[in-house]
Amino acid sequence: ATFALRVTPINGVEFQGVLATFEDVSPMEDIGQMRRDFVANVSHELRTPLTALLGFIETLRGPAKDDARARDRFLGIMETEATRMNRLVHDLLSLSRVESEERIRPGQQIDVVAKVQSTAKALGPIAEDKGIAVQLFLPEEPIMISGDSDQLYQVFTNLIENAIKYGGSGGDVHVTVTRLERDPTVRGPAVRIDVRDHGQGIDPIHIPRLTERFYRVDSHRSREMGGTGLGLAIVKHIINRHRGRLKIESALGQGSTFTVTLPRN
Ligand code: ADP
């Protein structure tokens, strides 16, 4: 903890002097430190692809100028790097938008069942490429909540996409939607969405930090998969805005379950 010394002059009738108090300013320091870390992280994440791009431009101007095959290969790599930067900027903008809206209550009437269904359908081809399927276990009736349509789409997309990415070919991804009459974590009627994969799982020591910006268990692997390390941070903020909860359970070698609980109206 960090303490600031505050000196207040006192001019009473019977007493004149100063009052010295100590004030715990560690939370403010933490926020300052977090902001500095964030800026450093963003700069680092942007600089990596940028350095690669500049390097290839130089090579294309010089040694590889007349080599058509090298040119094609380098342009392919440059496209990958530029796409990575694009995705990062896109995720940073999403995060900033979500953060600024966190205190505004979302007011659209959303059917969670239909939303999960359409999200899973859109991700079907990505799962297919990996030789797995997204299996849905949905109730027949709609389940309505007050929410933000685009943001909920983003939550389900990020979780299902992660399950496909990190679940590998270990088995299908299971998405279950359950209507709850009363859930203690949101203190009332709720809807629960479980996204379960059968991948490598996550060592429990990492779980509390997964929703931090840029936190990755294996940064090389995440980058290979086109990840920015911001997906779960965005998910967490959106769920907070919806007054919901995110729970992560995982066992190494057995896969992971990400559970979102959202209050119903
Ligand atoms: P990324 O863009 O790296 O996927 P996320 O914020 O979505 O970033 O996830 C953070 C990290 O959490 C990932 O890099 C990965 O290490 C881990 N992770 C997320 N989902 C899963 C999952 N279903 N199985 C295993 N690890 C996961």
Task: Please write the tens of the pLDDT for every residue from 247-257.
Answer: 999 999 899 99
Predicted TM-score (pTM) of the model is 0.86
CA-to-CA separations, 27 to 6, 20, 33, 40, in angstroms, rounded: 17, 21, 10, 20
Is the CB of 232 inside a 6 Å radius of any atom of ligand 1?
Answer: yes
Q: What is the Cα–Cα distance from 139 to 42, expressed in whole angstroms?
A: 41
Which of 87, 166, 196 to mutate for ligand 1's pocket (most ligand atoms within 8 Å of CB)?
166
Taking only the tens place, the pLDDT of each residue in 124-156 is: 999 999 999 999 999 999 999 999 999 999 999
| Cβ atoms of residues 175 and 195 within 8 Å | yes
Is the CB of 154 inside a 6 Å radius of any atom of ligand 1?
Answer: no
Which of 91, 156, 162, 223 to mutate for ligand 1's pocket (most ligand atoms within 8 Å of CB)?
162
Q: What is the Cα–Cα distance from 154 to 119, expressed in whole angstroms?
A: 9
Is the CB of 256 inside a 6 Å radius of any atom of ligand 1?
Answer: yes
Mean pLDDT, residues 196-213? 94
Minimal CA–CA distance to 249: which of 163, 127, 181? 163
